Chain A
Amino acid sequence: MHEEPFDLSRDPALGRELRALLDAGDATGFTASVLARLPERDSLWHVLAGWARPGIAAALVLGAALGFWLALGREPQGGADPAAEVLATDTPLDGEALMGFALGGGR
């Protein structure tokens, strides 16, 4: 052990000695006896589901909010979608129309 008085820092040597003293043997036998005493559970799924429930709810709310936001953002404002108009036209695309569309000018 360290000899410093009032020392509240860890003492690795003491820790090792304590661990060696308190460590119990026969982990296999102990584990087997614990497992033998465990009561039957329906399954662990309901535990996992319970843990996951808040996460799932948060994901659903987030997903709904995101979907709503995307829907608002994609809603046509003041006319048809220029891309749809370009694609719907029977006339072949010319360079000017294509560049105008790509640069955001619409048509």
Chain B
Amino acid sequence: MVRRLTRAVLRHAADADDAAQEAFLSAWNALDRFQPSQALGPWLARIAVNAARDLARRRRVRTTEPVPFDRADAGPPPDQVADRRVTGERLDAALATLPERQRVVLVLFEVEGYAHSEIGQLLGVPEGTVRSELFHAKRKLRELLRPLKEG
């Protein structure tokens, strides 16, 4: 989860791993401030997002030419690899057009499975904002990916 979130924020594989490492270090150092009554996942997710945002601020001078992610799953049979790569590349390109917060909300909701309210608490924004960001993100992705689906 941590690496996925930092990748969603930074869109740069090496930077994302740097931020993920920072997140784990921060979590380790803050471990005695973690309340066991709270859920570990959102706590760690918040640290990851903050670490990625901090790194993004520090490296804003870097021209943002994201390195395409290597798809980690080696599952699909060879005849599906090309299709999946095309789909992945298109999704990657579509994701790049979204504002950072929309990407994070989208990943927290669709990949990590958090509820709107949890995402709101995690990011410190109202639940309505989460819903709005999610709606705009999905509409944009739908628009960008539709030609592929229809083709």
Contacts and interface: CB of A to CB of B under 8 A. Distances in A.
Interface of A: 1, 3, 5-8, 10-11, 14-15, 17-25, 30, 33-34, 37-39, 41, 44, 46-47, 50-51
Contacts, number: 94
A23 B138 contact: no
Contact of B106 (A7, A18, A23): A18
User: What range describes how many residues of B lie at the interface?
Assistant: 35 or more
11 contacts: A1-B142, A1-B149, A10-B109, A17-B88, A21-B91, A22-B3, A24-B69, A25-B70, A30-B21, A37-B25, A38-B28
Contacts of B142: 1, 3
Interface string B94-115: 0100000000001101110100
A11 B60 CA distance: 33
Interface of B: 3-4, 7-8, 13, 16-17, 20-21, 24-25, 28-29, 31-32, 35-36, 69-73, 84, 87-88, 91-92, 95, 106-107, 109-111, 113, 116, 131, 134-135, 138-139, 141-142, 145, 149
A5 to B, nearest CB: 8
